[in-house]
Amino acid sequence: MEQEPSGSGADGHGAPPRRTAGRPRSESARRSVLGAAYAILEEGGIEDFSIDRVARLSGVARTTIYRWWPSKAVLAIESFLEQFGPQLAVPRGEAPDQDFRALVRALAAALAGPAGRVAASVVAHAQSDEETQRLFRENFSDPLRTQAAELLERGITHGVFRSDLDIPRVIDAFVGAVYFRLIIGSSLGPDWADALSETILNGCR
Amino acid sequence: MEQEPSGSGADGHGAPPRRTAGRPRSESARRSVLGAAYAILEEGGIEDFSIDRVARLSGVARTTIYRWWPSKAVLAIESFLEQFGPQLAVPRGEAPDQDFRALVRALAAALAGPAGRVAASVVAHAQSDEETQRLFRENFSDPLRTQAAELLERGITHGVFRSDLDIPRVIDAFVGAVYFRLIIGSSLGPDWADALSETILNGCR
Amino acid sequence: MEQEPSGSGADGHGAPPRRTAGRPRSESARRSVLGAAYAILEEGGIEDFSIDRVARLSGVARTTIYRWWPSKAVLAIESFLEQFGPQLAVPRGEAPDQDFRALVRALAAALAGPAGRVAASVVAHAQSDEETQRLFRENFSDPLRTQAAELLERGITHGVFRSDLDIPRVIDAFVGAVYFRLIIGSSLGPDWADALSETILNGCR
Amino acid sequence: MEQEPSGSGADGHGAPPRRTAGRPRSESARRSVLGAAYAILEEGGIEDFSIDRVARLSGVARTTIYRWWPSKAVLAIESFLEQFGPQLAVPRGEAPDQDFRALVRALAAALAGPAGRVAASVVAHAQSDEETQRLFRENFSDPLRTQAAELLERGITHGVFRSDLDIPRVIDAFVGAVYFRLIIGSSLGPDWADALSETILNGCR
DNA sequence: GTGTAACCGAGACGGTACGTCTTGTCTTGTG
DNA sequence: CACAAGACAAGACGTACCGTCTCGGTTACAC
């Protein structure tokens, strides 16, 4: 979001950096804001999150924040995605059912830490804001589902999973289970993750 | 909440209603507040919800609200539970798998309406408030899980479901799926509910 | 105030104790309230004075206080008068000018202590409440003026003071001076009192 | 208060207006607040005075008032001083005793009107607030005393008043008398003022 | 004795105001 | 232009009192 192509050297094939007139946006301000926002989310959840606090902590003027982020929800989720987005490595091994187990474990583990608290906060809030919902879906939910879908399809072609598998529903089930436990404040340990995997895989074979 | 032992016919051994000294709590005020709170939740979610607004809409003084509800989160969830709590009738027919399908359908249907929006709002908020989380769990989540568990156990004894079924995980899966779709803003139609039931039941047999 | 005809044997000209039907007023409650009220005034002035606080400190129900004192101003001044009223002994010696000096000293001394803080608080508030103003005038200001007037008249008949002395104005001057210093927060030591006496007596001879 | 050096032409020695960054304070808001504050004081005394009411009447946000005035006492006295401060013109004629009479009359007259009610309210409150007391003393009491002192000194040098006159005490006496009558709710007519002047002047000659 | 009347306690209720915190907009001056 | 600084209107927060209003119990005198 708000990605500035300015710095990316890849577009050097002719298109100039497209520097519009006036003072360019301060990249350092942007980073300060997102960093401070995430720090606040991590320590106090969305409850303690306010534009004022982000401004104070980041040293960036409130006006500047308002110029670039339309609402506190968007700022919160952007700061979360920037940190969390690249964190989930989907496994790709030989046995699809083992991969599935690993995926569930990885998701549970990622959300068990402090990032989970942030995720819960942010997604909770998302529910009231179209834009935030979209950002979450596009940058977090959809990629995860896509990767999971590929894994399941691989299982089908390998003959490990039944051919009439309703892939989206399977994904609904395991992602939903993890997320619901997160919201409810229940633990997300590896034992629980494995038990869930087993239950779901039972229906896939 | 604030249950008056007065009405419980069980103590018919002579114990008088035990009215404590002082002006008794106004039942009409309590109802007005919960009603207004639910109305606000229904139309604008938790975002537009404030004690001030509830006070104005209900015609009850703000101080009176604070006397009985410690925080806006608790008021919100209580107003939701009062409306939604008794809404979910768990089916009890001959075929446990049919019953399961009906249960998933009922849950999805209940949350597909305006109550869903409220539920999402409220549960979202729960995540940052211990007390709200507890209220939600005790009054909504736990009863639902208990009833679902009984249904699944019946299925096992009837020989319809496998005997090594991990009941809590099955429940995690279908409740989580419904709730996640709700949060994400995806549809919760009967077709989707049936597809989910089928996927999960596949693992139960 | 709240004159109790019950005990006063002096009115034995026929009027019986006139005990009206019903439970009689609790004398202990009355005393607790006035005592607590004065204690609060002494430590925090009128600023910290509230019916709630008096009720809490005295252990008397708020309703009971409201039954007997129409406003917090009246309660404050009554509690003050009960303590301060009998405190000022007007001297009666041989030399009227010496007596005057002693009177001014006594007034200044009485108001220099903690009671002064209370007096200032209370009289300050009096200005906005008819009833309080009347109570202060009748129970404090008028008696003081009457006694001072007698003293000055004695001085005239003794030939120490000029015969055309405008007694009320003299009293305005010295009482006003003391009170103004009190309000302004200036000291009220004996030296200042003597200097004031001298200045005023200069105009009396 | 809050004096803006910008307008004072005296600092034309090079110091620029020194406009600090950020949006400048709204002069119109300041005026609205002080005006509304005085209007409320005039009609209901300090009893009806509240920041809320001032905000409503002035149309200025409550937060803005709190930004500039630390307490309601300070706001009250400032609004009073702004109106009343320049109102008292001290006479300067040939005969010092005539001037004194005129001064007492002027003071009494000024406080006899609606401003008197405000003054009484405000000064009454001053007694519990250090800051208010200071403001009243510096901006009202001290200037008045200074001018009165000059008048009396002129009388001494002219030989009209005795040379050993204790000037501060004389001022205590007449200012106190006026203020005490004000608080007590007694009239402050010209006849009374003249009688007071005569009584005090008797001691000055 | 038994009313009945006025008391006292407890505490809920509708209100007003408090002083603080955020939100989002605006209005300056500087880089 | 971007940005820092900060004023502004709006409005919610949770608390303290206000004065009124039920209630349940407690004394008294009066029949």
So what's the pLDDT on residue B187? 87
In this structure, of B111-125, C98-112, C175-189, the range with the lowest mean pLDDT score is B111-125
Q: Which two tokens stand for residue B111?
A: 């949350």
| CATH number, domain with residue A187 | 1.10.357.10
Output the CA–CA distances (angstroms, integers) from residue B83 to A197, B39, B55, B159, in the order listed: 35, 11, 19, 37
| Residue after which a domain boundary falls, among D83, D117, D152 | D83
Chains that touch D (3 or more CB pairs under 8 A): C
Characterise A5 by phi-psi region: left (phi > 0), alpha (psi -120 to 50), beta (else): alpha
Residue D10, domain member (yes or no): no
Residue ranges of alpha helices (H) inside B113-189 are 114-126, 130-136, 142-157, 167-184
Instruction: Tell whether D79 and D156 lie within a shared domain.
Output: no
**Max avg pLDDT among A114-118, A181-185, B31-35, B119-123:** B31-35
Q: ∠ CA A39-A41-A42 to the nearest 5 degrees?
A: 65
Identify the residue among B183, B187, B204 best suited for mutation to test binding to A, counting A beta carbons within 10 A and taking the highest: B183
Q: Say what the pLDDT of residue B171 is.
A: 95
Give the structural domain span for D172. 84-202
pLDDT at residue D1, rounded to an integer? 39
pLDDT recorded at residue C82: 87
Tokens of A107: 């998701």
The answer, yes or no, to whether D and C have at least 3 beta-carbon pairs within 8 Å is yes
The reply to whether D175 and D92 lie within a common domain is yes
The answer to whether residues A164 and A117 belong to one domain is yes
Out of D173, D195, D198, the one facing C200 most closely (by C-beta) is D173
- Bigger pLDDT: A59 or C15? A59
- Write out pLDDT tens, residues A163-172: 899 999 999 9
Q: Do B101 and B70 belong together in one domain?
A: no
User: pLDDT below 70 — which residues of chain B?
Assistant: 1-19, 85-88
Whether residue A195 sits in one domain with residue A113 = yes
For residue C12, tell me if it sits in a domain: no
Task: Out of D38, D65, D83, pick the residue that ends a domain.
Answer: D83
Q: How close B64 gets to chain A, by Cα (Å)? A: 25
Percent helix, strand, coil in chain A, to 5, is 70, 0, 30
Give me the CATH number covering residue C39.
1.10.10.60
The whole-number pLDDT of residue B188 equals 93
Higher pLDDT, C122 or D17: C122
Give the pLDDT score at C3: 39
**Residue A119 neighbours by CB distance under 10 Å:** 24
D200-to-B179, B180, C156, D47 alpha-carbon distances in Å: 88, 89, 17, 35
Using DSSP's 3-state secondary structure scheme, residue B16 falls into coil
Which positions 13-32 on chain C have a beta carbon less than 7 angstroms from any atom of strand E? 20-26, 29-30
* Alpha carbons D6 and B90: distance in angstroms, whole number: 76
Contact assignment for C169 to D196 by CB distance below 8 Å: yes
Task: Tell me if A50 sits within 8 A of A39, measured CB to CB.
Answer: no
Are C51 and C64 in contact, with CB atoms under 8 Å apart?
A: no
Query: Does D203 sit within 8 Å of C202, measured CB to CB?
Result: yes
Is B126 in the same domain as B152? Answer: yes
B5 part of a folded domain: no
Q: Which of D60, D58, D158 is nearest to D100 (CA)?
A: D158
Query: Per residue in A74-83, pLDDT tens?
Result: 888 889 888 7
> CA-CA distances (angstroms) from residue B134 to A28, A112, A168, C38?
42, 20, 31, 48
d(CA D87, CA D110): 8
- Averaged pLDDT of chain A: 82
pLDDT at D188 over 70: yes
Of C156, C5, A41, nearest to B128 by C-alpha is: A41
Other Cβ atoms within 10 Å of A44 Cβ, number: 14
* Mean pLDDT, residues C175-188: 88
Alpha helix (H) ranges present in chain C? 27-44, 51-58, 62-68, 72-84, 96-112, 114-126, 130-136, 142-157, 167-184, 190-202
Q: What is the pLDDT of residues D68-77, one digit of tens each?
A: 999 888 999 9
Give the alpha-carbon dihedral of D127, C108, C197, D119, to 10 degrees.
20
How open is the CA angle C56-C57-C60, to the nearest 5 degrees?
60
Rounded to whole angstroms, how far apart are CA atoms A35 and A26?
14
Q: Which residues of B touch chain A, with CB atoms under 8 Å apart? A: 45-47, 120-121, 123-128, 133, 136-137, 141, 162, 165-166, 169-170, 172-181, 183-185, 195-196, 198-204
A123, A174, A202, A205, best to mutate vs chain B, most B CBs in 10 Å = A202
Predicted confidence (pLDDT) at residue A93 exceeds the cutoff of 90:
no
pLDDT tens-digit series, residues C52-101: 999 999 999 999 999 999 988 899 999 998 887 666 677 777 888 899 99
Query: Per the domain annotation, does C197 fall within a domain?
Result: yes
Please state the domain count of chain D.
2
Chains D and A touch (3+ CB pairs under 8 A): no
CA of C83 to C1' of F27 (A): 30
